Amino acid sequence: MILIELFMIFLKIGAFTFGGGYAMIAMIQYEAERHGWLTEAELVDFVALSESTPGPLAVNMATFVGIRTGGVLGAVIATLGIVLPSFIIILIIAKFFERFKDCKAVKGVMSGLKPAVVGMIGTAFLSVGRTVFFPNGLQTSSFTDISFWIFLCLFAVSAVLAFRKMNPIKIILLAAFVGIGAGYGLGL
């Protein structure tokens, strides 16, 4: 039954992915493509859309996949599956925090998880970037496309502005303005 499958898959993603929504993208992509729920291009589009809507990325993605595959009940089931592990873990941590906050084993586990989280986020970044900029593989023509250079300039300007401690809202608005201008002005 699709509802049980949705719940179990998103429960697994929620339980075994640390680092938030970005770290979950790679697992959601793997499962959604494996089950035929989303194509790679649809996932990239949804990541972009999800970032412009309120709410956590992974919850938005689970809800979208759920509603697409199982209707409103599917959305509820998938969303419950992805948030339930975090909810239970936070309850357990809250109950035992004082007792284990200085435990070397707990600190060691948390230190070990940090590189794994960075790796999962990096995997998602590379996967989404490959789909957006190199959908037909790495070719010389990819670097002559105007959209690649616009992205590169936006990325460089955003990085500089972020390191200069510019307000993130201003960076987002600037990127939106340039993106809209490029979309209408250059037909991208």
Amino acid 82: pLDDT: 92
Amino acid 10: pLDDT: 92
182 CB neighbour count, 10 Å cutoff: 17
Q: Which two tokens stand for residue 78?
A: 């998938």
Alpha carbon separation from 180 to 21, 24, 61, 142 (Å, rounded): 26, 28, 24, 21
- Nearest Cα neighbor of 83 from 120, 48, 56 is 56
What are the tens digits of pLDDT across the range 4-30?
999 999 999 888 876 677 778 888 888
Q: Is the CB of residue 25 less than 8 Å from the CB of residue 128? A: yes
- Nearest Cα neighbor of 6 from 48, 61, 88, 45 is 61
Amino acid 187: pLDDT: 64
Amino acid 8: pLDDT: 94
pTM higher than 0.75 for the full model? Answer: no
Q: Which two tokens stand for residue 109?
A: 């586990």
Mean pLDDT of 84-112: 82
